[in-house]
């Protein structure tokens, strides 16, 4: 079973599976979204497909085609790594660690809020 996590932006993973250009199919299409003429008249959106796994990535983060190509390859490499390695993937482990850290931060914030609320209640009782 492949974990269904979005894998993007995890740039400090070094043990990712390598991609060869022969496995990739690349297209340039018009992007969508805000941007007016810069978006509507230029084909700088990159659609990259990893043929063996069937994973497709569409990248239109910048106006530069070269930067979009580079970003698309990074995202695709992470997704392919996650597809083949599953829970053993560095991308998966980083995502889980990030989620755990976020939950811990949320829990601490909730505890602090409860402490403040309790402190205010005690102050109110002391005034009476």
Q: Is pLDDT of 15 > 80?
A: no
Q: Is pLDDT of 50 > 80?
A: yes
As a whole number of angstroms, the distance between CA 92 and CA 4 comes to 9
For residues 2 and 26, the answer to whether their CB atoms sit within 8 Å is: no
Q: Is pLDDT of 117 > 60?
A: yes
Q: Is pLDDT of 53 > 60?
A: yes
For residues 23 and 52, the answer to whether their CB atoms sit within 8 Å is: yes
Q: Is pLDDT of 6 > 70?
A: no
- Tell me what the mean pLDDT of segment 93-98 comes to: 88
How far, in Å, are 1, 23, 53, 59, 84 from residue 93 at the CA level? 16, 26, 21, 24, 14
What does the domain layout of the chain look like in residue ranges?
21-86, 89-127
Q: Please state the separation of Cα 1 from the chain's center in Å.
A: 20
Single out the residue of 48, 41, 51, 42 nearest to residue 69, CA to CA.
Answer: 48
As a whole number of angstroms, the distance between CA 88 and CA 5 comes to 13
- Regarding the domain delimited by 21-86, which CATH topology (the fold level of the hierarchy) does it fall under? Double Stranded RNA Binding Domain (3.30.160)
Confidence of residue 115 (pLDDT cuts 50, 70, 90): very high
> Which of helix, strand or coil describes residue 55?
strand
């Amino acid at each position: 079973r492949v974990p269904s996590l979005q894998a993007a932006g995890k740039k400090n993973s070094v043990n990712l599976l390598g991609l060869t250009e022969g496995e990739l199919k690349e297209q340039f299409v018009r992007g969508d979204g805000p941007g007016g003429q810069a978006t509507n008249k230029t084909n700088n959106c990159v659609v990259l497909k990893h043929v063996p796994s069937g994973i497709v990535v569409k990248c239109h983060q910048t106006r530069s085609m070269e930067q979009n190509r580079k970003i698309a390859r990074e995202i695709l490499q992470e997704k392919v790594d996650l597809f083949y390695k599953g829970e053993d993937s560095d991308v998966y482990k980083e995502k889980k660690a990030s989620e755990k850290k976020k939950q811990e931060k949320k829990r601490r914030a909730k505890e602090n809020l409860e402490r403040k609320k309790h402190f205010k209640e005690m102050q109110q009782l002391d005034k009476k």
